[in-house]
Amino acid sequence: MWRSRWRNCRSGIRWLSSATSAAARGHLADEGDWSYVSEWWSDGGDTVFRSVSDHGNGVVSVVAYPSSRPPAEQWPAVERSIQRRYEKLHPESEHDGRLKIVGYQWRVLRFNENTRQSTAKIMAAYRNSDPSSLFLMQQPHCLAVPYLKSMVSAGLTALASSGYDLSGAVTGKRSMKILCVGHGGGSLPLFLASKIKGASVHIVEIDPVVVMASVQAMGFPASAVTETSDKLSFDQSSYVDEVLWERMHERLFLHRSDAEDFVLNCRDIYDLVFIDAYDGDDIFPHKLWDRQGPFLESLRSKVHPVHGTVVVNLHSDSEVLSMDMKDYSLCQSILPMSRYISQVRKAYEEHFGLAFFFSVPWLCNITLVACSGMGLGINGRELDKNLVLNALISKCYLVEFVLGLPFPCLPYIKRGFMSFD
């Protein structure tokens, strides 16, 4: 979830586009570039999912918008690629698996009709042998919002700086365990699973309506859901699993659970943890940063003691908004630092040893990174800011190259690093 730095984000689109495009030169084409924000940031669109949450998220809806990319002339190549996968899996049936792409769309998950919680791009297609069928596949390579790119850049560069063998995990030569607290539309766990072959990604989401929205309307694989019930029942297709996801879904585990309960009861040790959990009132639950609470104490024991890294998405204006202030301009006076942000940082620093921030370009979001600090140039508990920043910068190219990222890490690290005394 994110907040725009200005009420009307569209006023800055032209500047954002030129800045992002310049930063992305030399990288793969990024279909999630911020220059495409005008395609899905509007009051129009078609509502394709709507339900009421019993877990504090209010009215949960998904709104669809046309996507300009990839262009229609590229669709046949995608169809042929899918057909080749099917023929490899089912050599006895050459034609039954042929898909026809209907188009690509942006899908925006909203809480209470207003808050944009998550944005993803989906491909819609039907099976030639069954024109009434319809399959939705979220495009895992596409991260549409800058704060997710900030979280990925900060988390992976910090992990690599600790001496972790990131190349081995990416190629699948070594296993990697990732935990995502908060699901939304599922774009972050899908991105990680698609880029890191050795990764098993566990996702925790308390709200079954959010899970249902991500599967039914945002193209998240249904087979990743570990719990089925009256509230969570999907028409799972082995065809979709095998052909569209190429077994990537087998490394995704979506748990319908309270985050605190999950962390207290799980037995895994995680290499990387992402926390992006907000309710319908746009509040980051206090129990996820309570110094004396069981969540942080237990999380510390479930993260690798040497290289384990925790990444948290925070709203730098959350404190103002939670106090029901009507004048939004007041939040600008406390950006980028606030008492709320400082308290969260201190809580994570107390449990993990080191915590530092990155401001997210163009948004009122802050990326918090917490880790032991090994390999990042700290002396005891003292933070040498220059050593930390230089260590992270030195790993930017490695992360970009090894993962084949469509966006550069450096702008999110160098320009966004924030130090506190």
pLDDT single digits (tens) 209-250: 999 999 999 999 998 998 755 555 566 556 677 788 888 999
Average pLDDT over residues 195-214: 97
Average pLDDT over residues 63-69: 97
Which pLDDT value is given to residue 10?
35
Distance CA 400, CA 410 (A): 9
- pTM beyond 0.85: the answer is yes
Helix (H), strand (E) counts: the chain? 16, 13
CA distances, 153 to each of 191, 263, 393 (Å) = 12, 24, 10
Question: Per the structure block, which two tokens stand in for 9?
Answer: 């984000």
Which pLDDT value is given to residue 96?
64
Which pLDDT value is given to residue 22?
38
For the chain, the straight-line distance linking the first and the last C-alpha, in angstroms and rounded, comes to: 28
Which pLDDT value is given to residue 387?
85
Q: Is 71 exposed, middle or buried (0-12, 13-18, 19+ CB in 10 A)?
A: exposed
Average pLDDT over residues 168-181: 98
Residue 332 reports pLDDT greater than 70: no
Residue 45 reports pLDDT greater than 80: yes
Q: Which residue has the higher pLDDT, 375 or 48?
A: 48
Distance CA 62, CA 279 (A): 16
Helix crossing, 294-301 with 339-352: angle to 10°? 40
Confidence of residue 121 (pLDDT cuts 50, 70, 90): very high
Q: Which residue has the higher pLDDT, 241 or 40?
A: 40
Distance CA 413, CA 402 (A): 17
Q: Which of 156-170, 189-203, 333-347, 398-412 has the lowest mean pLDDT?
A: 333-347
Distance CA 77, CA 222 (A): 26
Which pLDDT value is given to residue 231?
55
Residue 90 reports pLDDT greater than 70: yes
Average pLDDT over residues 57-63: 95
Beta strands in 130-256 (DSSP E): 130-138, 176-181, 199-205, 252-256
Average pLDDT over residues 195-216: 97
Name the amino acid, one letter, at 412: Y
Residue 16 reports pLDDT greater than 80: no
| β-bridge pairing 252-256 and 272-275 | unpaired
Confidence of residue 11 (pLDDT cuts 50, 70, 90): very low
Which pLDDT value is given to residue 145?
95
Using alpha carbons only, give the angle 329, 411, 186 rounded to the nearest 5 degrees. Answer: 75
Which pLDDT value is given to residue 280?
75
Distance CA 156, CA 341 (A): 22
Whether residue 353 contacts residue 375, with contact meaning beta carbons closer than 8 Å, is answered with no
Q: How far is CA 52 from the centre of its chain?
A: 23
3-class secondary structure, 168 = helix
Distance CA 217, CA 215 (A): 6
Distance CA 353, CA 347 (A): 10
Confidence of residue 317 (pLDDT cuts 50, 70, 90): low
Confidence of residue 394 (pLDDT cuts 50, 70, 90): very high
Residue 192 reports pLDDT greater than 80: yes
Residue 17 reports pLDDT greater than 50: no
Stretch (H or E) spanning 354: strand 354-359
Distance CA 312, CA 181 (A): 9
Whether residue 198 contacts residue 168, with contact meaning beta carbons closer than 8 Å, is answered with yes
Which pLDDT value is given to residue 303?
97
Whether residue 1 contacts residue 313, with contact meaning beta carbons closer than 8 Å, is answered with yes
Residue 329 reports pLDDT greater than 70: no
Average pLDDT over residues 106-116: 90
Q: What are phi and psi of 397, to 5 degrees?
A: -65, -40
Residue 35: DSSP 8-state: G
Q: Which of 170-184, 212-226, 320-334 has the lowest mean pLDDT?
A: 320-334
Which pLDDT value is given to residue 224?
92
Whether residue 291 contacts residue 350, with contact meaning beta carbons closer than 8 Å, is answered with yes
Residue 325: DSSP 8-state: -
pLDDT digits (tens, 9 = 90+) for 284-310: 999 999 999 999 999 999 999 999 999
